[in-house]
Homo-oligomer: A and B are copies of this chain.
């Protein structure tokens, strides 16, 4: 819920791309990973940072874990930015 975590989370291009992918709807970690040429471990790391920042949520369904966008946190940044513009 901290601005710091949110800002750092979206400061990485891979993580921003993950968020863009999730716009289309929930996806499994594996499906997300297929869009990149990194290992599953690296993907898991990025997902955990996005989760820690509460930008995504996860839900296990049997073998798979589905990740989903949770945009409520972005309001914090939006507010900060618009206040900066006065």
Interface, chain A (partner B; CB < 8 A):
3-4, 7-8, 10-11, 13, 16, 19-20, 23, 69, 71, 74, 77-78, 80-86
CB contact between A7 and one of B10, B84, B86 (< 8 Å): that residue: B10
Closest to A5 in B: B11
Jot down 10 A-B pairs with beta carbons below 8 A, ordered by A: A4-B11, A7-B7, A7-B10, A7-B11, A23-B83, A23-B84, A74-B84, A77-B77, A77-B81, A78-B81
How many copies of the polypeptide does the oligomer hold?
A: 2
**Chain A interface helix/strand/loop/mixed:** helix
Taking CB atoms, residues of chain B closer than 8 Å to A84 are 19-20, 23, 69, 71, 74
